Chains A and B, each alone.
Chain A
Amino acid sequence: MSGSNRYEQPIAGHFGQHGGRFVAETLMHALDELTELYRSAQSDPVFRAELQHDLEQYVGRPTPLYFAERLTREIEGARIYLKREDLNHTGAHKINNTIGQGLLAKRMGKPRIIAETGAGQHGVATATVAARLGLTCRVYMGARDIQRQSLNVYRMKLLGAEVISVTSGSQTLKDAMNEAMRDWVTNVDDTHYIIGSVAGPHPYPMMVRDFQAVIGREARAQCLQAVGRLPDVLVACVGGGSNAMGLFYPFVDDPDVRMVGVEAAGLGLDTGRHAAPLNEGRVGVLHGARTYLMADADGQIMETHSISAGLDYPGVGPEHAYLKDIGRAEYGAVTDDEAMEAFRQLNRTEGIMPALESSHALAWVAQHVPAMDGDDVVIVNLSGRGDKDILSVAEIDGITL
């Protein structure tokens, strides 16, 4: 652990001891190629203009930074602002990244894209971009997630994507990612793999973070305008960690801004049935990167549990692992029940239905804001809307629709 919590820019895809490129040799060239192409696109005004245009005209950016007045009054503590990523086209932050990577696929001349998905939001966002760019699309999804996110499965099919049910392992996001990697190894010549989080081998954690950083850049400017200063606290849920990284990144060099990631404590951290590698995991290598993982004493990856399919993943983006190690960000965890409570609270107080993923960030706010100063400003990343979760929530309430 370093004595200072100053953020050092990564070298060749490493974030401190984390990150890197731990993949089969077959993929090394494709990753080199992607890194190179991404660098050239980044400095190309035409690409940037195209991306900017799509974010404005197709995704609907900028999203509002909304002052949640009634929620603020009910919780009593700091002023709570919601970064409304739920208002993006397709209903979550995921499309910020798929728009960018879709344009890269087009630039590479690859006619086929694949993706893994947990809650289905990344799958939907990928299928959407594929439809718009005229690319063939295949989405891998764990059989268990297909069951609990059936609305998104149908959406992807309507968008023309082929959804492959993954029945190996725990039948959730990690297994979908294994299967997507196998597809990519086989079809690497004509296929671009759109990883949906700040996970995977270099350059994905960096590239996905950059595409998602639009969230933090907007929030920063909007906060300066609305309250005349930077926020005191940023809060976002962390599965792989893309919405959190997108919000945090433009603030990493502002030492007074506290950054809090919230993991899924599932049935409770002490039960072992959770998805909180930053809280309870150990450092290891999975899916191309070194990072904190939920693994047993023999290095086997453990099955995780969360009410939220999007957080039900045993790893976490390597840059979060680094932010934790240097103490620049802190990582809490809330249980399924606490997230459900927060889900209901936002519906009731603000007329906004948050995704179960985002409800984890809201639950942390409900627990910690009461101890804060009334003048403090807290920004919560409302990473997605909860329509996709209606069937799961109804089931918890014992209702069959």
Chain B
Amino acid sequence: MSRLHDRLDRLKSENRKALITFITAGDPNPEVTVAALAGLVTGGADVLELGIPFSDPEADGPAIQASSERALAHRVTLPKVLEMVSAFRRHDDETPIVLMGYLNPVLTMGVATFAELAQGAGVDGLIMVNLPPEEAEEIAPLLQAHDIDLIYLVAPTTTAVRVRFIAERAQGFVYYVALKGITGANHIEVESVADKVTALKTTTDLPVMVGFGIKDGVSAKAAARCADGVVIGTVLVSIMGANKTTDTIVELLTECVRTIREALDA
């Protein structure tokens, strides 16, 4: 069993909602990341998504674009991201880490090489924003061979036929994108999300997490009513962008996650 499966099973048995956090590796500088990840765990994060900086993040809003730019200014690319995961694992070998980003850096490293190195570093899952399952037939088995779950997204525009197609191939959890648009856009509409997620849950036994547009305790709690957990990203990344010192960033991240954790558990 992987860290990710263990954690998700445990949450389910405890009847608790998963809180998944996203920050970009190397943002605002490479020294912050490992401490920031630990701070997120202290605040109550169950799963850590760590963004792989990319020069052309075409599905992301201004906040996450800017986080990529800040990280790339320090030349934080995929090999460095994996080093950061290794460093984090020296202190925490339980909290699952899911890398998230765009395909090109992974392709350039070579998928087989990536899978081997990522497993060695302690990565549990991978979300590729621009890799729908249709294009993943060669890639998915290479990742699976190293126990890395390839996690797919489902969007409001995904038809019922595609939902089944994706559910059949899904690993780890299913990530429901709560709104049409880029990361960090408007607040989600809870009603339509509830309908979609309820329908989605009939197609898969995997947990369904809701992300995009969740900004605070209120929206997290609302989104989590029908789902197994929520993903928060832009609100955390904005903290990273607005603050300079590692201590301040870690403190604010922990506080932000704690507030949302409390709302979810209330």
What 1/0 flags go to B54-89 for Cβ under 8 Å of A? 111111110001000100100001110000000000
A186 to B108, CA, bound (A): 29
Instruction: Name the CB-closest residue of B to A297.
Output: B108
The smallest beta-carbon distance between B34 and chain A, in angstroms, is 20
Given A168-B65, A300-B77, check contact A186 B181 (CB 8 Å).
yes
Question: Are B180 and A25 interface neighbours, CB within 8 A?
Answer: no
The listed residue (A22, A185, A187, A286) touching B131 by CB distance below 8 A is A22
Residues of B close to A25: CB separation below 8 A: 132, 152-155, 157-158, 166, 177
In the complex the two chains form, what is the Cα distance from A286 to B106 in whole Å?
13
* B58 pairs with A301, CB closer than 8 A: no
Q: Given known contacts A174-B56, A287-B58, A298-B77, is B105 in contact with A23 (CB within 8 Å)?
A: no
Docked-complex contact A178 and B135, CB < 8 angstroms: no
Given contacts A25-B158, A298-B77, contact A20 B135 (CB under 8 A): yes
Contact yes or no, B58 A28, CB < 8 A = no
Contact B108 A288 (CB under 8 A): no
User: B185 touches which one: A186, A188, A189, A287 (CB < 8 A)?
Assistant: A186
Of the listed residues B102, B108, B109, the one surrounded by the most CB atoms of chain A closer than 10 A to its CB is B108
Q: Are A28 and B157 CB-contacts (below 8 A) given A169-B55, A284-B104, A297-B108?
A: yes
Per the bound structure, the CA–CA distance linking A301 and B130 in Å amounts to: 15
Cβ A24 vs Cβ B155 within 8 A: yes
**Which B residues are CB-close (under 8 A) to A283?**
107
Given A295-B108, A299-B106: A182 touches B155 (CB 8 Å cut-off): no
Residues of chain B at interface, number, CB under 8 A: 43
Complexed CA–CA distance, A25 and B65 (Å): 19
Chain B residues, Cβ within 8 Å of A288: 130
What is the CB-to-nearest-CB distance from A298 to chain B, in angstroms, rounded to a whole number?
4
Q: Is the CB of B130 within 8 A of A300?
A: no
Q: Which A residues lie within 8 Å of B109 (CB)?
A: 298-299
Knowing A24-B59, A25-B155, the reply to whether A284 touches B182 (Cβ < 8 A) is no
A185 touches B104 (CB 8 A): no
Interfacial chain A residues near B59, Cβ < 8 Å: 24, 26, 181-182, 185
Knowing A185-B59, A185-B180, A298-B78, say if A22 contacts B105 (CB, 8 Å).
Answer: no
Within 8 Å of chain B (Cβ to Cβ): is A257? no
Nearest B residue to A301 via CB reads B55
B140 within 8 A of A: no
List the A side residues contacting B131 at CB < 8 Å: 22
A285 touching B130 by the CB < 8 A rule? yes
A contact residues around B69 at 8 Å (CB): 168
Cβ A28 vs Cβ B104 within 8 A: no
Q: Does B194 contact A (CB under 8 A)?
A: no
* Assembly CA distance A30 to B132 (angstroms): 14
- Asked if A189 meets B130 with Cβ closer than 8 Å, knowing A22-B103, A181-B59, the reply is no
Pick the contact of A182 from B54, B61, B107, B134 — CB < 8 Å? B61
Of chain B, the residue at the smallest CB distance from A302 is B55
Interface pair A181/B58, CB less than 8 Å apart = yes
Contacts A285-B130, A298-B77 known; A26 to B180 CB distance under 8 Å? yes
Are A29 and B130 closer than 8 Å at their CB atoms? no
B157 touches A178 (CB 8 A): no
- Which A270-323 residues have C-beta < 8 A from chain B? 282-288, 293, 295, 297-301
Within 8 Å CB of A28, what residues of B? Answer: 132, 155, 157-158, 162
- CB-based contact A298/B79 at 8 Å: yes
* Residue contact A300 to B153, C-beta cutoff 8 Å: no
Q: Are A300 and B72 in contact (CB under 8 A)?
A: yes
Chain B: minimal CB distance from A225 (Å): 44
Which residues on B sit within 8 Å (CB–CB) of A138?
none
- CB atoms of A21 and B135 under 8 A apart: yes
A181-B65 Cα distance, complex, nearest whole Å: 14
Closest to B154 in A: A25
Q: Is the CB–CB distance between A29 and B158 below 8 Å?
A: yes
Q: Does residue B13 face the partner (Cβ distance < 8 Å to A)?
A: no
Q: Which residues of B contact A23 (CB under 8 A)?
A: 130, 132
CA distance A185 to B134 in the complex (A): 19
Q: In the bound complex, how far is the Cα of B65 from the Cα of A293, in angstroms?
A: 21
A383 vs B212: C-alpha distance in the bound complex, in angstroms?
42
Our pick among B54, B60, B106 for the contact of A300 (Cβ within 8 Å) is B54
How does the 8 Å CB contact mask read for B178-191 relative to A, with 1 for contact and 0 for none? Answer: 00111001000000
Contacts of A169 in B (CB 8 A): 55-56
**Nearest Cβ distance between residue B158 and chain A, in whole angstroms?**
6
Instruction: Kindly state whether residue B141 has any CB partner on chain A within 8 Å.
Output: no
Question: Which residue of chain A has its CB nearest to the CB of B181?
Answer: A186
Neighbouring B residues of A286 by C-beta, 8 Å: 56, 104
Report B24 CB to chain A, min CB distance, Å.
Answer: 14
What residues of chain B lie closer than 8 Å to A284, measured between beta carbons?
Answer: 104, 107-108
B182 engages A185 (CB within 8 Å): yes
Q: CA–CA, A330 to B165, complex, Å?
A: 40
Least distance between B169 CB and chain A CB atoms (Å)? 12
CA distance A28 to B155 in the complex (A): 9
- Which of B104, B152, B154 touches A285 (beta carbons < 8 Å)? B104
Q: Are A285 and B107 in contact (CB under 8 A)?
A: yes
A149 to B242, CA, bound (A): 35
Q: Is B156 an interface residue (CB 8 A)?
A: yes
Query: Which of these, A174, A175, A299, contacts B105 with CB under 8 Å?
Result: A299
Partner of B159 from A29, A181, A285, A295 at Cβ < 8 Å: A29
B239 adjacent to chain A (CB < 8 Å)? no
Is B56 in contact with A299, judged by CB distance below 8 angstroms? no
- With a CB–CB cut-off of 8 A, which chain B residues contact A293? 104
Can you list 22 A-B pairs with a CB-CB distance of less than 8 A? A21-B134, A24-B153, A28-B132, A28-B162, A29-B157, A30-B157, A175-B56, A177-B58, A178-B57, A178-B58, A182-B59, A188-B180, A189-B180, A283-B107, A285-B102, A285-B130, A286-B56, A287-B58, A288-B130, A293-B104, A299-B77, A299-B78
A-B pairs with the 8 shortest C-beta distances? A299-B108, A298-B77, A299-B105, A186-B181, A26-B155, A24-B59, A299-B104, A300-B55
Interface on A for B, CB 8 Å cutoff? 20-30, 168-169, 174-175, 177-178, 181-182, 185-189, 282-288, 293, 295, 297-301
